[in-house]
């Protein structure tokens, strides 16, 4: 093909491409506050979680119930000492020793050993950050959470609920409108892995409080509270001393105990058991 023919072909090709319709850019949609990642559905009896033990870790298998996925604190500490196995049915006979060397689940289970510490879940409010500098708004937020309803949804045996009053969402939305927020508002919530996160976010959504949530470490949450980057927090309180630290930092009215979740476990008799700061049993070398 000659040079003129090649040039002519290129021109025709360019004209053809230029005439093609240009795709309209797709709008970026920010997830709403109530969109919380779904917990994976477990269909097999035992599925490995992708947490690799350290090279020196023994071949210990931790069996955790499927309901604990994404809600179990200190899971990295467990993964550093053995393999994590999700079980969709922990009542199967002979499961201990065959599929797992230690079984861990939420609730008080008859015949199982009990962790010395329950998970203490609390809501903390940053009254220095808008709009919670207004005491009326902070009070509406406190009344938006109904621990009793959360307990019914979680269906964890032995879950203990803190003192609270049940308030109709319509009343809370009305109070919010009277306080100057007829359409509600958006807040940043930092949380630690714990049971009940989705239910709490859903309750906020019912009163037009849209939550943008992000998982954080305890220290990061403390730092972001001090800087005002986080409005609300869902935390685990491991001791009365730690709760007092939060009370000293943000005030007693802004630390709301919601509920506590007991932890039960079974373990092979030859294994020594220790407990993490939040009462999760694990193998101690």
Q: Which of 109-123, 163-177, 191-205 has the lowest mean pLDDT?
A: 163-177
Residue 183 maps to a domain: yes
Residue 176 domain-assigned (yes or no): yes
**DSSP assignment string, 166-183:** ---HHHHHHHHHHTT-TT
Tokens of 41: 């559905």
Contact 129, 167 (CB under 8 A): no
3-state secondary structure of 102: strand
> Which residues, including other chains, have CB under 8 Å from residue 279's CB and lie 6 or more apart?
115, 116, 117, 118, 119, 238, 263
The answer, yes or no, to whether residue 94 has pLDDT greater than 70, is: yes
- 182 shares its domain with 224: yes
**Out of 20-29, 119-128, 190-199, 210-219, which region has the weakest mean confidence (pLDDT)?**
20-29
Q: Is residue 149 domain-shared with residue 247, that is, in the same domain?
A: yes
Lowest pLDDT segment from 20-29, 144-153, 245-254: 20-29
Q: Do 135 and 70 share a domain, yes or no?
A: no
Percent of the chain clearing pLDDT 90 (strictly above): 57
Kindly state whether residues 104 and 50 are assigned to the same domain: yes
For residue 70, the model assigns a pLDDT of 86
Same domain, 137 and 191: yes
Domain containing residue 133: CATH number: 3.10.105.10
Strand, coil or helix: 254: helix
Q: Is 117 helix (H, G, I), strand (E, B) or coil?
A: coil
Sign of CA dihedral 162, 258, 40, 68: negative
In a domain, 257, yes or no: yes
Sheet containing 61-65: order of strands: 46-48, 83-87, 61-65, 102-106, 263-267, 113-114
Contact 166, 149 (CB under 8 A): yes
Q: Which residues face 187 on adjacent strands? A: 211
Residues 142, 230, single domain; the answer is yes
pLDDT computed for residue 91 by the predictor: 81
216, 209 in Cβ contact below 8 A? Answer: no
pLDDT at position 162: 77
Judge if 77 and 129 occupy the same domain: no
Kindly state whether residues 60 and 189 are assigned to the same domain. Answer: no
pTM for the full predicted model: 0.76
Indicate if 257 and 277 belong to the same structural domain.
Answer: no
Q: Give residue 234's domain range.
A: 119-261
Mean pLDDT of 188-208: 94
Is residue 159 one of the residues assigned to a domain? yes
- Asked whether residue 11 is domain-assigned, the answer is no
Q: Do 117 and 73 touch, CB atoms closer than 8 A?
A: no
Tally the domains of the chain: 2
- Encoding tokens for residue 271? 């294994």
For the stretch 200-225, pLDDT in tens is: 999 999 999 999 999 998 889 888 88
């Amino acid at each position: 093909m000659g040079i003129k023919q090649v040039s002519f072909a290129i021109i025709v090709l360019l004209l053809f491409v230029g005439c093609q319709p240009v795709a309209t850019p797709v709008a970026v949609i920010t997830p709403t506050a109530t969109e919380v990642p779904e917990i994976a559905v477990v269909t097999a009896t035992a599925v490995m979680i992708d947490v690799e033990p350290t090279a020196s870790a023994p071949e210990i298998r931790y069996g955790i119930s499927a309901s604990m996925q994404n809600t179990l604190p200190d899971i990295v500490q467990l993964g550093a000492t053995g393999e994590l196995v999700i079980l969709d049915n922990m009542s199967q006979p002979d499961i201990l020793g065959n599929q797992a060397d230690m079984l861990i689940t939420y609730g008080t289970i008859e015949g199982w050993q009990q962790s010395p510490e329950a998970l203490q879940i609390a809501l903390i409010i940053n009254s220095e950050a808008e709009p919670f500098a207004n005491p009326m708004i902070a009070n509406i937020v406190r009344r938006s959470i109904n621990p009793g309803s959360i307990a019914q949804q979680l269906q964890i045996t032995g879950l203990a609920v803190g003192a609270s009053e049940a308030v109709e969402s319509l009343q809370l939305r009305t109070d919010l409108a009277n306080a100057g927020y007829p359409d509600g508002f958006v807040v940043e919530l930092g949380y630690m892995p714990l049971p009940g996160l989705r239910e709490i976010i859903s309750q906020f959504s019912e009163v037009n409080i849209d939550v943008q949530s992000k998982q954080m470490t305890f220290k990061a949450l403390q730092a972001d509270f001090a800087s005002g980057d986080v409005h609300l927090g869902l935390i685990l309180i491991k001791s009365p001393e730690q709760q007092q630290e939060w009370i000293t930092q943000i005030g007693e009215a802004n630390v709301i105990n919601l509920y506590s979740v007991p932890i039960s476990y079974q373990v092979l008799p030859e294994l020594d058991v220790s407990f993490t700061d939040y009462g999760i049993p694990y193998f101690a070398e």
